[in-house]
Amino acid sequence: MCAWHSVSELDTSIENMNKEHRKAMKELDEAKKEERSQQEKLDEEAKELEKMSNKQSMLTKKVSGILLFFTSFLSVIQEMFFRLHQMHEMQPIVTDVPIAPCVSLSDMLLCRAKMAEWIEVLFGMETCGL
């Protein structure tokens, strides 16, 4: 302790230092609270991002499956039209008879069964005997 400092000056200095220390501790506590709050928000947003990413992945898979379904379905339709055309060429040309009766019942049932199978695969839904 220096000789030129009086006890009252030292008390005042200590009191000022204590005030500054309390103020700094209060600011530190507030900063820690803010940090926790920001970390909680960050964690919550990370969870939301994960959910959205999973949902996007699931929807991408469904879209891919639907495209595959329609590609397969269109090939079945194309095959049916091809068979229909062949059957029509074999029959005598009659203008008043529609072409649709030329499709056999087994072809229609095969098409329905294929559609039901794809619906179950794509959407996980029972088709109740479609």
Q: What is the pLDDT along the chain (130 residues), one digit of tens a residue?
A: 455 568 888 889 999 999 999 999 999 999 999 999 999 999 999 999 999 999 999 988 888 888 888 778 777 777 777 777 676 666 655 445 444 445 565 666 666 677 667 666 666 655 454 4
CB of 130 within 8 A of CB of 115?
Answer: yes
**How many residues are present in the chain?**
130
Question: How far apart, in whole angstroms, are the C-alpha atoms of residue 118 and residue 4?
Answer: 96
What pTM, to 2 d.p., does this model score?
0.45
Amino acid 19: pLDDT: 96
CB of 48 within 8 A of CB of 105?
Answer: no
Lookup: tokens for 113: 């069964």
Please count the CA atoms within 13 angstroms of the CA of 127 that sit on its side-chain side. Answer: 14
Rounded to the nearest 5°, which phi and psi values hold at 124?
A: 65, 30
